[in-house]
Structure 1
Amino acid sequence: MAFGQGIMRWAALAMLLAGQAFAQQGPGGAGPQGPTEVGVVVTAEEDVPYTVTLPGRAIAFQQTGIRPQVGGEVREIAYEQGKPVKAGDVLFRLDPETSAAALAAAEAAVAGAEASLTQAQNTVTRYRRLEGSGVSAVDRADAEVALKQAEAQLKSSEAARDAARLILQRTEIKSPLDGVADVAAVSVGDLVTANQSESLTTVTQLDPIYVDVSESSARMLRVRESIRAGLLVVNGTVATQLILETGEEYQGEGRIVSPGITVSPTTGTVPIRLKFDNPDRMILPGQFLRVKLTLGTTRAVLVPQRATNRASDGTLTAFVARDGQAQQVTLSEQGSYRNNWIVTQGISPGEELIVDGLEDLRPGAEVATIPVVIDAQGVVREAADRGEG
């Protein structure tokens, strides 16, 4: 029994010594580890375009519902649905027979009024010549009153004729603007009424087209403060770039036509309207888009986004190599530019920013720096073409 207990004590002692040796060697079992190799780039200050990206929605430049101004039966749909139309093109034709008959009656009334006017004018002329020799002054005055009444009757008849002609013309329903006519909401044979609430179709002008975006009023205040402080330099114009839903950049710049002047009490944003040329009708009303606005240039340090980490509270941090150690810094950014953060505080020009080897890197860790570069695709490579980092 004593012999067995001695063997167990020796085994426990051997396991304890082995554990201490393993702890001294480290996880790899190769003794104490050296500094961690990290890839670094040297930061520099430069003039950077200050760009903000805002979500937006396309709005038709002009859009109108086509409604009849007179009633009648639809005799013809005279346009090709979904195709462009010009202002003045006939879209619908209504039954003209009733209106044509009314116009004919009005024209006959004008002819009768003209004859009555001629007769009254002749009577007045004759009475004026014969006054004092068989025609009294009272007779002449009565004839002149009849002349005035005949003139008024003629004007009334002419107005009724013009109204009847206008009604007949309105049996041809025309487009009031250039645009694209939508599918007709009626068919041949349907009865329509004057000024009805339901439109027969819709004509939409798509070139140019509006894009409405919303900007945070708080960010607008920060931008104004940056301009006053000289941190943001503006040149008097705002460059615009439209990004389609596919991520493709739309060819052609727009311009701001209506800067916002009110702040939404619910969202805290200011509406801004821009106008873009749309000759190919690539942008349609209701389409969701993004708009890049370049407000000016700012003097800042560009920090690759891949080298940073953003905490849940929004704090942006990165690592720099100082005196052989990794030091974590907190950054203040003003937007992004080409996969880089535009950093105005937290890092200085000439610092060694750690962009590679960040896995499990902790503040205060010893590091050995290797100069690297980041290509256009965001791949880290060792400087002087020494292979990938």
Structure 2
Amino acid sequence: MLAGVQKLSGAAMVLSVLASIASAQGAPTGPAGPMEVGVIEARLEEVPRSASLPGRAVAFQEVEVRPRVGGVIEEVLYTPGDQLAVGDPLFRIDDSAYLAAEASARADLAKARANLPVAQSAYDRAEGLSGRGYTEAEVEEARASLAEAEATLEAAQAALDYAQTELSWATVTSPIEGRPDVSTVSVGDLVTAGQSDELTTIVRSDPIYVDMVETSARILSFRKGADEGSLTPNEDLEATLTLENGDVYRGTGTLVTPGNLVSTTTGTVTVRFQFDNPHHIVIPGMFLRSEIVIGTMQAYLVPQRAATRANSGQLTAFIVGEDGNAKQVTLTDEGSYRNAWIVREGLSEGDQLIVDGLSSLQAGQAVTPVAATIDSDGNVQDSVSGDTSGAED
């Protein structure tokens, strides 16, 4: 009898210990109530429609300097990297031969000028005495001699002009404004007119071009939206730049050309914008990321933390249904703006979009909505959990 009592007492003790553990762990004693979730109200608004494109900086002007006359380099007249104006001297070529050629041409011009009055007098005399000592043939000969003297004078003047031009080419000058590269020749090197090797390269990078690449499919999508009226295009397109280190470049670019050809290998179109670059921060050849505001459209902005994209590409989110339960909806997006998806279909004006408390939420679950706000960084403020860190639920 005592053994039976002892066995019963041991079982009771085990049950008592298990009950204590369950109580300490907060085991539910009844059905759970509705789950509190943070919500925002879905509102149609004017949303900028933008495109983020890769780009590459291209010099506004770039020229390879070559000599127009041959000779020995006598002096390098510039410092690499210094800003040049149009006409600034770069190299001086030995001009002895060109000085001699100019002197010879000048002498020929003086001779031609001296011969012209003689020919003119001979013609005037022959014409005045025509039929009285001068035959018609002699008059014609005097006229031809005068014409030849005039032509010789013009040829001598042209030869002098060209000799002076060649002499001026002995000093190689900058054809554009920009910054020169290091010289490929030094004093004493022999150069020839029109040689294939450049003496130096000059690059103008203020302003600067940025060539951006966009797919032809997206361009067609933008045009379709404009034709259908869902997209209001901007008349004057502007672009912003993000540098390779992540810094946003100050200033906006203006459209130069929208591109007229589609690459047969990549299916893309090159769009060129022009940016002011007074401090030469953007260097030709640099790869950049650009943002172009194409226009505006009426859409809903859904915080990216409030939506989930499946492997199939389908975008879903939760709203509070009319029955007070969580309802999963499928969204049709048109890209993103800042920290939000641009949604055109799947929501209605005034829907309560659930943005917080999503970690354990399931469709059909009873919820209690609590108003929340989303800051510019995509973090939830005044939510049910009080979390403002922006961490995923």
Q: Normalization by structure 1: what TM-score?
A: 0.85
Residue 120 of structure 1 corresponds to: 119
Per the alignment, in what secondary structure is the counterpart of residue 153 of structure 1? helix
Residue 331 of structure 1 corresponds to: 331
Residue 285 of structure 1 corresponds to: 284
1:345 aligns with 2:340: no
1:388 aligns with 2:387: yes
Superposed counterparts of 1:61-210, under 5 Å: 61-129=60-128, 135-210=134-209
Per the alignment, in what secondary structure is the counterpart of residue 84 of structure 1? coil
The one-letter amino acid of 1:142's match is: E
The one-letter amino acid of 1:268's match is: G
Q: CA deviation at 1:313?
A: 2.4
The one-letter amino acid of 2:118's match is: Q
1:254 aligns with 2:248: no
Give the distance between the partners of 2:233 and 2:114, measured in 1 at CA.
77
Per the alignment, in what secondary structure is the counterpart of residue 328 of structure 1? strand
Listed one character per residue, the Cα deviations across residues 240-265 of structure 1 (whole Å, up to 9, x for unaligned) are: 32222233332222221211233222
Per the alignment, in what secondary structure is the counterpart of residue 265 of structure 2? coil
Question: How has the CA–CA distance of structure 1 residues 388 and 132 changed in structure 2, closer, same or farther, with 3 Å as cutoff?
Answer: closer
Q: CA deviation at 1:329?
A: 1.8
The one-letter amino acid of 1:98's match is: A
Give the distance between the partners of 1:238 and 1:136, measured in 2 at CA.
81
Give the distance between the partners of 2:160 and 2:222, measured in 1 at CA.
64
Give the distance between the partners of 1:242 and 1:84, measured in 2 at CA.
25
Q: Normalization by structure 2: what TM-score?
A: 0.84
**Is contact 2:339-2:377 (8 Å) kept?**
no
Give the distance between the partners of 1:221 and 1:250, measured in 2 at CA.
29
Q: Which runs of 5+ in 1 are unaligned?
A: 1-16
**Is contact 1:242-1:291 (8 Å) kept?**
yes
Aligned residues: 371
Give the distance between the partners of 2:304 and 2:129, measured in 1 at CA.
108
Residue 375 of structure 2 corresponds to: 375
Q: CA deviation at 1:133?
A: 5.6
Listed one character per residue, the Cα deviations across residues 131-169 of structure 1 (whole Å, up to 9, x for unaligned) are: 556554444433333332222222222222221111101
Superposed counterparts of 1:197-346, under 5 Å: 197-322=196-321, 323-346=323-346
Query: Which shows bigger deviation, 361-370 or 259-268?
Result: 361-370
Residue 362 of structure 2 corresponds to: 362
Per the alignment, in what secondary structure is the counterpart of residue 99 of structure 1? helix
Q: CA deviation at 1:182?
A: 1.8
Q: Which runs of 5+ in 2 are unaligned?
A: 1-14, 389-393
Give the distance between the partners of 2:30 and 2:141, measured in 1 at CA.
131
Q: CA deviation at 1:177?
A: 1.7
Q: CA deviation at 1:94?
A: 0.7
The one-letter amino acid of 2:181's match is: D
**Is contact 2:86-2:177 (8 Å) kept?**
yes
Listed one character per residue, the Cα deviations across residues 304-345 of structure 1 (whole Å, up to 9, x for unaligned) are: 011122222222122223234333222111122220111111
Superposed counterparts of 1:8-19, under 5 Å: none
**Is contact 1:206-1:278 (8 Å) kept?**
yes
Per the alignment, in what secondary structure is the counterpart of residue 85 of structure 1? coil
RMSD: 3.0
Question: How has the CA–CA distance of structure 1 residues 364 and 78 changed in structure 2, closer, same or farther, with 3 Å as cutoff?
Answer: same
The one-letter amino acid of 1:336's match is: S
